[in-house]
Structure 1
């Protein structure tokens, strides 16, 4: 039997031929619909700037085979951006292109950032004033309590002049006592509030005068009439 001749093929270098032919399992098929689905579900994240979101959308749109990539990115930004103000402006002005909306979004982000910084400063100032006012009020209240606690009683009995109320609920010492000033009962002379009339004072004064002094005084009084 004749020996079969086996053809000799050149050695296959997979590393060299991967860029041209290569095995089929080294060339995965691209799923365009999956790429579009990923693009449509890409939403702007919390803390993500508009420029960062735009870069992410361009990355996903690269494999979606869109006819007009900028138009699709603009639509996605309008639908999925976090700024309601930017969304309203874009819907009110449908003739604006992607670059115009991006510029508008940057301006809105800058104004929001500045406004937040100002609001934080105002809030901090208000909080400091509130804390200072609370401390002052608390200090005044504590000081008032100390002052009140150290004050001595200043109430006095109008009948005897002693401290009121009397110790041990004892009756007033001036009870049933006669005042030597107004001759009334129930209080001492030292706290008497009555005022003697001119006739009484004159009568008391005359008792200690001589007859000559009385005559002179009467003469003087009559000369003034």
Structure 2
């Protein structure tokens, strides 16, 4: 018997009218996150409705189609990334780790974004992520944690590749693949040896009257 005050997954909630709108929406997003992680983005929507404990009509009032529902879940992921960027000790390394954690349980959402990447409703995802990347890139450069050769476009590409390779790996190997990919990008983004001294020596060697 369930504890008093706690709902059971799939149990229909009492009809509270319009006042239930925000809580129903939240329940649908939470259920969609779980179902998409378990069954992929093509999971039946009625499974999400049942898990959320709401009526079918509530689903379509809040989310006219599958893409809108998936984007709502993905927006919560972006909220988390923006939360990481807001922390005083935030870094791109921490951002990539968070993205890996999300990718490991959100493979269906990554598939969603890829399928609908040309849909104008998806454009805001790239814009929000780009803002976070630029902010952390500037912070890492100032702290000397990342090489000057790395630009925002490089980090965006790394994020896309990282999420995609994790999503498309065998579930049993995703943790290992994610760690390997993460180490590759860490090495690629690391500050490179200072070339100032080398250039100085080369300049002196080529100066008139300088012997080899």
Say which structure, 1 or 2, has more relative contact order (CA 8 Å, 6+ apart): 2
Q: Which has the higher helix share?
A: 2
Q: TM-score if structure 2 supplies the norm length?
A: 0.32
TM-score under structure 1 normalisation? 0.31
Structure number with larger C-alpha Rg: 1
